[in-house]
Structure 1
Amino acid sequence: MQANYYRIADHKQLTVHNNQSSQLQLGKQYTATTYNVGFGAYNHDFDFFMDTGELKDGTKVKGHRGTAISKQAVLDSTNGVIDTMKAQNADFMFFQEIDTNSTRSKHVPQVSMLEQAFNHYASTFAVNFHTAFIAVPIYDPHGIANSGLLSLSRYQIDNAERRKYPVSSSFISKFVDLDRCFSVMRMPVKDGKDLVMINSHMSAYDKGGKMRKAQMKLLNGIMEKEYQAGNYVIVGGDFNFALGQDMIMHFANGEKRPEWVSDIDQSMLPEGITMVKAQNRETVPTVRGAEMKYDPKVNYMTICDGFFVSNNVKATATDIDTDFRYADHNPVKLEFTLE
């Protein structure tokens, strides 16, 4: 594995396919969604070998699967994602952990499936997980992985760039939590400014949140710079933080707090940037623990998916309840207006 390890260079220009010509304007309402689709594997019967936890009675639990249960399971989940997103009819869609030609997702071409389903959108894809072969677990190797961030837009994208996050250099982490990044897309607004949209997926398996804090520092700097330049800023994605300390143990479940759970709140964002708290966040979580098959009364759940916006963007958010049928995450929808 070591011989095949490398990181993609920072500031990599991304190709925009099927670019659109429509431009954004002030005062009009738009919608955006973010959805970590978990490479199509995380249906109710799936658990993942990297995930561990402990029940409140002290019982240790650990996932065991390295790949999806079957190719049909991946197809069913991917089609479920497509149907869910068609029902939302959003102007912008961000997806994380979406595969192309990967062992773990049974080589289902998820990226092309979504691009074909939404062929009237511009699209751009940034790789954030690429490895020749992961040989663990031995009984169900994770295998070859090609995965990343897919961003779809009904509006013109002038420029798209891949920015790399700092990541752990530990031997295991750099192979299973590889090459984290975010996509930065610039979209022209009719007032002469830009809407800067960022699709982000921060590190998992980061005990205490050390790497995620370093990643937030980088992201904060970019958000602050763009807002101070007069641009509109929207960041969506899977932050792998609980979005608010009150969400860490908010949802009733049978597990203790997992080691990976750290939180971020409004005080950790730069001036002029706001965390948009979903209106139904008290009742609809956005992620479930995957150290066991899905049991809504037992699995740990919290809110770690959502949006940050600059103060010149008026926005509300809603968590979309899919009951985790197609992924270990629920999507989040943002309604926003540029002011």
Structure 2
Amino acid sequence: MTRLLRITLLSLLFIAGVLTALIYSLTWRPDDKQILPVSCVAPRAPTLLPGQALKVMTWNVQYLAGKNYVFWYDTADGSGPDDLPTVEDMAFSLDEVARVIRDEQPDILLLQELDEGAKSSHYQDQVALLQERLVDLYPCSAQAFDWKADFVPSLHIFGSVGRKLVTLSRYQIEHAERLQLPVSPANFISRQFQPKPALLLTYLPLSDGGQLAVLNTRLDGDVPGRTAVQEQVKATVKLLDKFEGRGTPWLIGGDFNLLPLGQFLRLDAGKRGQYSPDSELHLLWDKYPMIPSNSESSGIDRKKWLTHFPNDPRVDGPDRTLDYLFYSPRIKRVEAKVRQEDTLRISNHLPVIARFLLPAAQ
């Protein structure tokens, strides 16, 4: 009996070891800080000038899936009927995203949810596909994964994932980093497969020897508890405080998945579950200017500043604000808008666009 027990235990240990090795081989564990390659065609990329105007756009393009679906993750109980878009719908969305970008021609473009090698997007390299259409506008770029695995055993995925943050720039980028944010609590196995939210940090040189720090992010949405989200915001604020302390001008944009002041109670009760009544985003807006501001996103013209149009057939238009630009007080806001009029069928998020003036030379 003792020998049988020993054999059984050894067999179980062997199986556990094999499963652990398999999970590790299929998943991705990035370092807290990674230096990233920068793609920059220097002769075509000018250097930023102190005091110049700068147009910035942030947009979550929802892996070019479009608005013809209710995906499994779009419903609170995971019962959405769709798992992936068609290639034809993705081609339409790609052309539409390129059209809007070409029309706006921002100097810096912050994109979230572009896929590479993911089953749900037919294994496309969406960054390459988009860059082919914008090659004359953006000589410089940097990109970072915030979700990656060769195989996710979810019935709705059951294959690879690869989702990216991408920053495109008309101006030189001299350095890029991926900074890991705190992840949502989960057991050991689940943690290996879950998204790993991050900051994509790029430094753009200024002609006077200084730098502009540009950050791109997508924070966790609809996570159990709110601890991880709060820690992600705290980590972001801590980094921005460092830039302020050094005198480095900065701006950050992305899909924060958090509501502004006053929108929680305006949502239908059934849609409030993934948000806190006291938005964790206050840690940012308490210290730094935000686009849209709270007065804009909750004021009389608040409909103009809504950025999220849920994939829900019961909703006929944007109903909340989740996407923002924050910027250093050293930078001056000139104008801003959410482009709504011709973007409602492209993604479940709408682009936020702003024009700034960089600090003058000291």
Matched, 1:12 2:34: yes
CA separation of 1:102 and 1:30: change in aligned 2, threshold 3 A: same
The equivalent residue for 2:234 is 217
- For the pair 1:179 / 2:196, whether they are aligned, the reply is yes
Offset from partner CA, 1:209-266 (integer Å, 9 cap, x none):
3211101111101101011101101000000111x22123447xx6633321236477
The number of residues matched between the two structures is 323
Residue 308 of structure 2: which of 287, 302, 312 is its match? Answer: 287
Answer 1 or 2: which has greater strand percent: 1
Matched, 1:107 2:126: no
Q: 1:15 to 1:293 in 2, by over 3 A?
A: farther
Tell me the CA shift for residue 160 of structure 1. 0.4
Contact 2:264 2:272 (C-alpha < 8 Å) held by counterparts = no
> Does the C-alpha gap of structure 1 residues 330 and 131 become closer, same or farther in structure 2, counting only changes over 3 Å?
same
Q: Are positions 1:132 and 2:150 aligned together?
A: yes
- Aligned-partner residue type, residue 213 of structure 1: Q
| TM-score (norm: length of structure 2) | 0.81
Tell whether 2:63 aligns with 1:39: yes
Counterparts in 2 of 1:286 and 1:249: CA distance versus 1, 3 Å: farther
Q: Corresponding residue for 1:274? A: 289
Map 1:173-252; keep pairs closer than 5 Å: 174=191, 177-242=194-259, 244-250=260-266
Q: Is the 8 A contact 2:60 2:349 kept in 1?
A: yes
Residue 190 of structure 1 deviates from its aligned partner by 2.5
- Unaligned 5+ runs, structure 1: 54-59
Residues 256/106 of structure 1: CA separation in 2 closer, same or farther (3 Å cut): same
Give the secondary structure class of the aligned counterpart of 2:110: strand
Matched residue SS, 2:215: strand
> Taking structure 1 as reference, are residues 80 and 37 closer, same or farther at Cα in structure 2, changes over 3 Å only?
same
Alignment match, 2:275: 261
Match of 1:304? 322
Deviation at residue 118 of structure 1 after TM alignment: 1.8
Q: Is the 8 A contact 1:205 1:260 kept in 2?
A: yes
Deviation at 1:79, TM superposition (A): 1.5
The unaligned stretches of length 5 or more in structure 2 are 1-21
Deviation track 1:42-99 (CA, whole Å, cap 9, x = no partner) reads x23211212334xxxxxx894232222x111111112111111111110000110101
Distance, in Å, in 1 between the alignment partners of 2:337 and 2:266 is 17
| Matched letter for residue 303 of structure 2 | T
1:1-28 Cα offsets, whole Å, 9 max, x none, are 8443332112211111134441112332
Moved more, 31-40 or 176-185: 176-185
Superposed CA offset, 1:151-178 (max 9, x none): 1001111110000111024148646641
Cα drift, residue 142 of structure 1 = 5.2
Task: Provide Cα deviations, 1:105-164, integer angstroms capped at 9, x if missing partner.
Answer: 122321101111221310111011111222433xx5352111111110011111100001
Higher mean C-alpha deviation, range 203-212 or range 74-83: 203-212
- The RMSD of aligned alpha carbons is 2.5
Is structure 2 residue 334 aligned with structure 1 residue 320? no
**Paired residue secondary structure (2:94):** helix
Query: Which of 1 and 2 has greater Rg?
Result: 2
- Equivalent in 67, 84, 96 of residue 100 of structure 2: 84
Cα distance, 1:98–1:314 mapped onto 2, change above 3 Å: same
Which amino acid is 1:310 matched to?
S
Counterpart amino acid of residue 326 in structure 1:
I
Q: 2:166 aligns with which of 150, 166, 170?
A: 150
1:27 corresponds in structure 2 to 51
Distance in 2 (CA, whole Å) between partners of 1:84 and 1:280 is 23
Describe the shift of the 1:178–1:265 C-alpha distance in structure 2 as closer, same or farther (beyond 3 A): closer
**Of 59, 64, 69, the match for 2:81:** 64
Measured in 1, the distance between the counterparts of 2:245 and 2:285 equals: 11
State the alpha-carbon separation in 1 of the partners of residues 159 and 210 from structure 2. 44
Q: Is residue 230–residue 280 contact of structure 2 (8 Å, CA) maintained in 1? A: no
Structure with greater helix share of residues: 2
CA separation of 1:261 and 1:142: change in aligned 2, threshold 3 A = farther
